[in-house]
Amino acid sequence: MNWTKKHPAWAMFAAMIGLLLFLWGMALPLSAAPDPIGPAAKQFAEGARVTVLLTLISGSVGVVLGVLAGLGKLSSFAPLRLLCDFYVWLIRGTPLLLQILFVWLAVPQILPESMQISDFACAAIALALNIGAYNTECVRAGILAVPHGQVEAARALGLTPYQGFMDIVLPQSMRVALPALANNLASLVKDSSLAYAISVVELTMVGYRVQAESYQPIPVFLTVAAIYLILTTAFTTLTTALESQLDVGRKR
């Protein structure tokens, strides 16, 4: 971890390369493992790739939702502020599994038959909405942490409110919010396992299927746990290196 903080750029590069090598090469060492792991090595590798893809898509959309809803909660336009408050209240007050099931069951009723989306897309939507609500509070807190004098200084320099926000407030607020956003992303890697409930073939679903066929839950779920640990470690290393690169939390 000290090396990560001292050499953040190299740490980010190593974490990304390591994650890619792990995702596309993990089937080889797993195939040498005894039954029931070895015969299912390719399934575990594919499940891990689906988990990472689900995390990246929903996490990216969740950041955008968090920024937009965070700005909405600080808006002087009351209907928009109330809408964002309701969104955060609703999502944070209900279980993620219920949200995934609701999106999966509601989307076919809302969209016409020609526009139906996959189970993977339903899971990504639900996960993005969920993490977006938590990111909203992180972004809002980050914006409020920026001293008001910075805004006044931007106006004194002749910047428009939009320019002042984009060039002065938003970069500083995102630096403040980054540790909390990174923590939400690491949690999302594990939360994505709930997508198994709607038959998305991610890592947990693969483990469930393999143990159902082999009747050996201990080695199967130990393998699944080890893969999740490696994935969360890679994401944590990436975010820690990014924080160090941006000098987040460092006293000047």
The pLDDT score that the predictor gives to residue 55 is 94
Structural domains in the chain plus CATH codes: 2-245 (1.10.3720.10)
- With a CB cutoff of 8 Å and minimum separation 6, the contacts of 69 are 84, 87, 88, 132, 133, 135, 136, 139
The pLDDT score that the predictor gives to residue 5 is 60
The pLDDT score that the predictor gives to residue 112 is 79
The pLDDT score that the predictor gives to residue 247 is 64
Which residues in the chain show pLDDT less than 70?
Answer: 1-12, 245-252
The pLDDT score that the predictor gives to residue 251 is 44
pTM, full prediction:
0.88
The pLDDT score that the predictor gives to residue 94 is 96
